[in-house]
Homo-oligomer: A and B are copies of this chain.
């Protein structure tokens, strides 16, 4: 059993806490959160203690930490945990500033501990099967990839303000998937973004709708589209074209029911949002992390993956502002 501490007692902290509590591989020892009450409530529900970050990191019994706290704390916690010799799992992003993220990755490397980044979508069973079939040659050589990702509704202005913008906050997941599926690093990015419905996005200088193109060295192409609103639910789709065909991942739905009436043939809305749609992947990524620790090699998305997705988001942000394609910076 791996002794684990959880930083962050918010929505994602609760999800990870449940996974650890149910896991046969790990034991939740501490929940740590600046809001002591939240830490206490969550800790209690899983039979874990509360402690300050310092106390957690100086407890030699703790082998791994899960960082699900607010974005601005990620880099500090990653670095401190790495220096304390803990295996680290951290929600994306490492930091909104790429330089600082790069610094954190270096510190982790120097410390020789594993760093896993919470790109949970790679662990979604449908997307994992997508990757597996691409690699098995189901459509031959990959040529073109399309990713669609739409949230049901926009976040509040307060969130947008600290989010780093749509490209760093939302599309970063798609950048990670794009790199993973393309099997090559994108070398250039072009982005369009618009404010079409969300006044908060406009107030924050952000966009609510965006389309992005990526190009790899060998000429593989990728289209990504994001919107902060989809009245029909959480929309997450993939489409890949290759020399031998097309592979698509449509949205899973709550039920397989289909009603035919005067109004046509009606099936279910998409699932509500990421906590439902990706419930399995949140669990699987953490179990995978624990297996990696136990087996001596963590194979989750790495700090380098986290940094590279951020650099793609930075390039997209710059492209959207400049109206030009932007070369991707080396990590």
Contact = CB atoms under 8 A, between A and B. Distances in A.
Contacts of A181: none
Given A190-B190, A232-B260, A264-B266, A255 B126 contact: yes
Nearest to A219: B194
Contacts of A225: 144, 146, 221, 223
A46 to B, nearest CB: 13
Number of copies: 4
A59 interface: no
Given A126-B256, A257-B126, A325-B324, A241 B150 contact: yes
Interface in A200-254: 209-211, 213, 215, 219-223, 225, 227, 229-233, 235, 241, 243-254
B213 A232 contact: no
Interface residues of A, number: 69
B257 A190 contact: no
A223 B221 contact: no
A270 interface: yes
Interface of A: 125-126, 129-130, 133, 138-139, 141, 143-144, 146, 150, 188, 190, 192, 194-197, 209-211, 213, 215, 219-223, 225, 227, 229-233, 235, 241, 243-270, 323-325
12 contacts: A143-B196, A150-B241, A188-B323, A211-B223, A213-B213, A231-B243, A232-B261, A246-B260, A262-B269, A263-B269, A264-B268, A266-B266
